[in-house]
Amino acid sequence: MAALSKVDDTFAEAFKMYGARIIITAINEKWATKAANCVTGFATSVIGCGCEAGIEGIAEDTPDGRSGISVLLFTMSKKALSEQLLNRIGQCILTCPTAACYNGLDSDEVLEIGKKLRYFGDGFQMSKVIGGKRFWRIPIMEGEFLMEESYGIKEAVGGGNILILGNSVESVLEASERAVSSTKNVKDVILPFPGGIVKSGSKVGSKYKFLHASTNTSLVPHLQAHASSVLPSNTVSVQELVFDSLSLEAIKEAMKKAILSALEIEGVIKITAGNYGGNLGKFNIYLKDVLEVDEHA
């Protein structure tokens, strides 16, 4: 396939993270989605948001039988994950009309978020063990907020990425959108940036000492005269897709789908990936290897 020649022989450098899956239910999908959007708001990058989060999809067979949305959250440490879950469940789900929150990840390692949030009940909270799981009933103005006590966590992979280079802003955006759509059915994966796409990929460090990350100059189309550009000269625009996942296999599958979908768009010049020479991340995901992955979804 001629288009595959546009895929750079390089790798995406991904990092070890910790992930959790929560199931948000509500009286209907509209309100479950509102709560999920709130939980995953301002959660594009751990650099500035504390966590990376996104909507994984519709949750089937929820514990209370209502409409549900599955959300994945990722952080660099277990402590950070605990803080983020507590804050985001407390501020976004506890407050959202009719919403409830349940664990969506079976794991031996758990964070007991409900045990902390229960104190909102000011002594009137009650717990129930149903089917071997403990739930907390917290009295609120609406009636009762229900949440599961323990949330499974596991080691995860964050920062898998592809870069889509093209000869126009429109073509690159269209390719990126199509690439994001193609990953919708891949379980365990989210793309945490707006619409799954990031237009301002960063490099580590800056000429300014107070800044830890700055614009990735080698990928800015109009800085080719100033920086050591890696872009083909006819590049007009670049977009990046960042993937976080509960498993390496799932991230590879999503990357494959995204690459193949992006290549269908005329105007795409090249698909490459961001890395730091393999010096920072635990996982080096080679694009050529990704294209050989068997698809499950």
Binding interface with another protein (CB under 8 A): 63-66, 100, 126, 128-131, 135, 137, 143-146
- Minimum distance, C-beta of residue 262 to another protein, in the bound complex (Å): 41
Q: Note whether 213 and 204 are within 8 A (CB).
A: yes
What contacts 131, CB < 8 A, 6 or more positions away? none
Cα separation of the two ends of the chain: 22
| Minimum CB distance to another protein smaller for 128 or for 288 | 128
| Minimum CB distance to another protein smaller for 143 or for 194 | 143
Instruction: Round to whole Å and give the CA distance between 249 and 160.
Output: 11
- Minimum distance, C-beta of residue 127 to another protein, in the bound complex (Å): 9
- Minimum distance, C-beta of residue 122 to another protein, in the bound complex (Å): 13
Report CA-CA distances (Å) from 288 to 12, 81, 139, 191, 261: 11, 33, 54, 21, 15
- Minimum distance, C-beta of residue 113 to another protein, in the bound complex (Å): 17
| Minimum CB distance to another protein smaller for 22 or for 265 | 22
| Minimum CB distance to another protein smaller for 101 or for 162 | 101
Report CA-CA distances (Å) from 33 to 36, 53, 59, 97, 137: 5, 14, 11, 11, 22
Q: Which run of H or of E encompasses 187?
A: none
| Minimum CB distance to another protein smaller for 126 or for 280 | 126
| Minimum CB distance to another protein smaller for 59 or for 191 | 59
| Residue closest to 89 by CA, chosen among 152, 134, 22, 20 | 22
- Minimum distance, C-beta of residue 61 to another protein, in the bound complex (Å): 8
- Minimum distance, C-beta of residue 162 to another protein, in the bound complex (Å): 40
Half-sphere exposure of 286 (CA within 13 A, CB side): 4
Report CA-CA distances (Å) from 74 to 156, 208, 258, 259: 8, 28, 21, 23
